[in-house]
Chains A and B, each alone.
Chain A
């Protein structure tokens, strides 16, 4: 019984943030455009936290490219990264993102409960409905994100 109590939910860390409102923010995109809460309201999308210094993001990258090819909208949250490094990284490896929020100081990330990169959120109409810490791959996608997507009947 203690084993069950101790291990319950721990396979998917970050689950406590379910159904919270998306934090209020005002930042710029990597291309220098202003981006605020209203810019991303009334939409369903994935939010992927990444950085050019993050090695696991490089590992995760091909799967994000695959998701993009399946028509999944992915908004990038470029975390504590130099703008130039981030843009070079995208040019070199390919860009799976619809747009990128440049969170140089990590303020929005902290408000979201990000502990590092990569982390992925599922946002529906300004609400966080899922939060996964670590690399998203086929297994994680099928076990964590797909059930919620099917349940909410989005995409």
Chain B
């Protein structure tokens, strides 16, 4: 009985004792930030998968780097900047609003406006 008891101790306790969490954060807020970031950043190796979904070695490296940067109190902006300068602007799922993405952001509204304009002009004719 004693043997069984110690065996079960070894089997069940040791697993939780010696398994460290994969990523170490200072607080729960940081962990939440990490989980949000890895969903917003594309895996550099897979065309349409997020970092969160990817187990590619490069994604693991990048996730560890993000953890490191979070623990250095870097902001989300700094982290996204780090990733996009190295792996391209399209590594962020949501493109930043800047000069060369104006067309991307506003084209749908402009097209809608033109369509409505044509529609009403033709109606009045």
Contacts and interface: CB of A to CB of B under 8 A. Distances in A.
Contacts, number: 33
Interface string B80-93: 00001111110000
B45 A116 contact: yes
Chain B interface extent, by class: 10 to 19
Contacts of A13: 88
- Determine the main DSSP class of B at the interface with A: helix
Contacts of A80: 57
Interface in B44-98: 44-45, 57-58, 61-62, 65, 84-89
Interface string A100-125: 00000011001111111000000000
B58 A116 contact: yes
B95 to A, nearest CB: 13
A17 B86 contact: yes
A13 B90 CA distance: 11
Interface of B: 44-45, 57-58, 61-62, 65, 84-89
Given A16-B86, A17-B85, A110-B65, 15 more contacts: A13-B88, A14-B88, A16-B87, A16-B89, A17-B86, A20-B85, A106-B57, A107-B61, A110-B58, A110-B62, A111-B86, A112-B86, A115-B45, A115-B58, A116-B45
Interface of A: 13-14, 16-17, 20, 80, 106-107, 110-116
23 contacts: A13-B88, A16-B84, A16-B85, A16-B87, A16-B88, A17-B85, A20-B85, A106-B57, A106-B61, A107-B61, A110-B58, A110-B61, A110-B62, A110-B65, A111-B86, A112-B86, A113-B44, A113-B86, A114-B58, A115-B44, A115-B45, A115-B58, A115-B87
